[in-house]
Amino acid sequence: MSVTPLESWKDGPVKEAIVDFTGRATTEVAPEDRVAVFDNDGTLWCEKPAYIQLDFLVRRLAQQAAADPSLAAEQPYAAAASGDLGWFGDAVTKHYNGDDSALKVLAGGILSAYAGLPVEEHAACVKAFFAEAQHPTLKRPYTSCGYGPMVELLRYLEANGFTTYIASGGGRDFMRPVTTAMYGIPPERVIGSSVGLDFADGHLKTTATPEFLDDGPVKPVRIWGRVGRRPIFAAGNSNGDIEMLEYTSAGTGPSLSMLVRHDDAEREFDYTAGAERALALAADRGWTVASMRDDWARVFD
């Protein structure tokens, strides 16, 4: 068996839980059933002060507001035009606390932002964004905002016969252009939110019709629909990951459900907003909680 050391994970209960689980899985679970799923925002890459995809979309909404001043008086265009990222963050936090009023407004703008664009052109826009955009406070390229210890964990599981997937509330077609380079996860193993597509004249084009919001109880449904197997490992960081972690831990045989806790203000951020229920459930159900401050020797590469 090939073993990759978790060099960026500090010795302690969390690292021991990962190593112990992996050892059991390699002896008790057939390789084809060793499925691991990872949330992306806040689990594999940074999600504060706003989602990376939100920066991508806000730039587009601001362009639309500049081209059509009548939009500037409406949300989410008004927030985009004024650079008010707080409005967007509040909309997402409210969603995780059960209030979708602002999220519905945000979704309307997001869904129309790139409607009618061929999927290859959308991918080119994503690549161009990542080629130049930087994190606003960490002052590093977004492509350098992936968590080193989590990438090590991906490699460790893969070295022990696991197939790894991303299962994120983020946009599938926003993540796919960069997941291979950042995480070694190819596009076909990326599960995310999506809009409908139309086929005409040899091209697939995006629409303004929502297809899936890959969050909460939808995550297990989408995982089964794409993978056809129950995961035995899952990592998340927010209330939107609860059902994915429940689905993983409810199976028979070895399993590990893990939450990444953001508690390192010096190297990243310190917050629990949007993760309160998940953290409470973790304590009640025995899920593993990985502290950025206490369990990671480093955060970024």
Give the model confidence (pLDDT) of 69-89 as tens digits: 888 888 889 888 887 777 887
* pLDDT range class, residue 206, cuts 50, 70, 90: very high
Give me the chain's average pLDDT, please. Answer: 93
For the segment 248-259, the average pLDDT, to the nearest whole number, is: 97
23 & 162 share domain: yes
83: in domain? yes
Nearest to 109 by CA among 142, 153, 77, 70: 77
Q: Of 23-27, 64-68, 135-139, 278-282, give the lowest mean pLDDT range.
A: 64-68
198 & 92 share domain: no
Contact yes or no for 41/95 (Cβ under 8 A): no
103 & 149 share domain: no
301: in domain? no
* pLDDT range class, residue 2, cuts 50, 70, 90: very low
pLDDT of residue 103: 83
39 & 56 share domain: no
40 & 98 share domain: no
In this structure, what CATH number is given to the domain that contains residue 155? 3.40.50.1000
Percent of the chain beyond pLDDT 70?
Answer: 99
48-62, 106-120, 199-213, 261-275 — most confident range: 261-275
7: in domain? no
212 & 145 share domain: yes
* CA 147/CA 150 separation, integer angstroms: 5
100 & 194 share domain: no
Say how many residues make up the chain: 301
79 & 228 share domain: no
For the segment 132-136, the average pLDDT, to the nearest whole number, is: 95
pLDDT of residue 92: 77
174 & 259 share domain: yes
pLDDT of residue 3: 47
For the segment 210-239, the average pLDDT, to the nearest whole number, is: 96
Q: Which residues of 111-127 are buried (b: 16+ CB within 10 A; e: fewer)?
A: bbbbeebbeeebbebbe
Q: What domain range includes position 71?
A: 52-113
149 & 253 share domain: yes
Q: What is the pLDDT of residues 20-58, one digit of tens each?
A: 999 999 999 999 999 999 999 999 999 998 899 989 988
Nearest to 203 by CA among 115, 113, 120: 120
36 & 84 share domain: no
125: in domain? no
99 & 150 share domain: no
Last residue of one domain, picked from the residues 75, 94, 113? 113
Domain count, the chain: 2
* CA 238/CA 41 separation, integer angstroms: 9
User: CB under 8 Å, gap of 24 or more: what pairs does 268-272 form?
Assistant: 268/46, 268/48, 268/138, 268/292, 268/299, 269/46, 269/48, 269/49, 271/48
What does the DSSP assignment read for 67-122? Answer: H-GGGGGSTTHHHHHHT-HHHHHHHHHHHHTT--HHHHHHHHHHHHHTTT-BHHHH
* CA 84/CA 111 separation, integer angstroms: 19
* CA 277/CA 270 separation, integer angstroms: 17
* CA 292/CA 147 separation, integer angstroms: 10
Q: Of 16-30, 103-117, 233-247, give the lowest mean pLDDT range.
A: 103-117
